[in-house]
Amino acid sequence: MSSSSAETQIALGVIASGPDAYWLERRPDAKHLAGLLAFPGGKCDPDEMPFAALCRELSEELGIVVDTAELLLEMPWVYAEKQPVKRLRLWVFQVTAWHGEIRGREGQGVLAMPLDCHQRQIWLDALPPANRGIVAALCLPPQIAISMACAPGVAGFQQWIQGLTATAHDLVRRFGVGGALMQLRPGRALITSEWQQAVATVQELGLPVLVNAELATARTVGADGVHLSRARLAQADQDELAVWQASGGWVTAAVHHPAEMGRANEARVDAVLISPVQPTESHPEMAALGWAEFAALSRTATMPTFALGGMTPQHITQVRASGGQGIAAIRAFWRTPADGANGENFG
Q: What is the DSSP string of 110-139?
A: EEEEE--GGGTHHHHHHS-GGGHHHHHHHH
pTM greater than 0.85 (yes/no)? yes
Length in residues, the chain: 347
Q: Are 40 and 59 in contact (CB under 8 A)?
A: no
Q: Are 277 and 307 in contact (CB under 8 A)?
A: yes
pLDDT score at 144:
98
In angstroms, rounded to a whole number, what is the distance separating the alpha carbons of residues 66 and 14?
11
Q: Are 68 and 97 in contact (CB under 8 A)?
A: yes
In angstroms, rounded to a whole number, what is the distance separating the alpha carbons of residues 271 and 227?
9
15 sits in the region (left: phi over 0; alpha: psi -120 to 50; else beta) called beta
3-state secondary structure of 34: coil
- For 6, counting Cβ atoms within 10 Å of its Cβ (0-12 exposed, 13-18 middle, 19+ buried), the class is exposed
Condensed to tens digits (0 to 9), the pLDDT of residues 288-326 reads 999 999 999 999 999 999 999 999 999 999 999 999 999
pLDDT score at 33:
61
Q: Where are the beta strands (DSSP E) in the chain?
A: 8-18, 21-26, 37-38, 41-43, 65-79, 86-99, 110-114, 143-146, 180-184, 209-211, 225-228, 250-255, 271-274, 305-308, 326-329
pLDDT score at 32:
60
Q: What is the DSSP string of 149-209?
A: PPPSHHHHHHHHHHHHHHHHHHHHHHH-TTSEEEEE--SS---HHHHHHHHHHHHTTT--E
In angstroms, rounded to a whole number, what is the distance separating the alpha carbons of residues 315 and 346?
18
In angstroms, rounded to a whole number, what is the distance separating the alpha carbons of residues 268 and 255?
13
CATH 3.20.20.70 domain locations along the chain: 140-329
In angstroms, rounded to a whole number, what is the distance separating the alpha carbons of residues 330 and 83?
46
Quick one: CA dihedral 124, 125, 127, 128, positive or negative?
positive
The Cβ of residue 240 has, within 10 Å, a number of other Cβ atoms equal to 12
pLDDT score at 30:
62
- For 153, counting Cβ atoms within 10 Å of its Cβ (0-12 exposed, 13-18 middle, 19+ buried), the class is exposed
pLDDT score at 339:
35
CATH 3.90.79.10 domain locations along the chain: 8-131
pLDDT score at 287:
87
pLDDT score at 286:
77
Q: Which residues of the chain have pLDDT under 50?
A: 1-2, 337-343
pLDDT score at 29:
66
CATH class label, 8-131? alpha beta
> Judging by DSSP bridges, how do beta strands 225-228 and 65-79 pair with one another?
unpaired
Query: Which helix (H) or strand (E) element contains residue 243?
Result: helix 238-246
* Homologous superfamily (CATH) for 140-329: Aldolase class I (3.20.20.70)
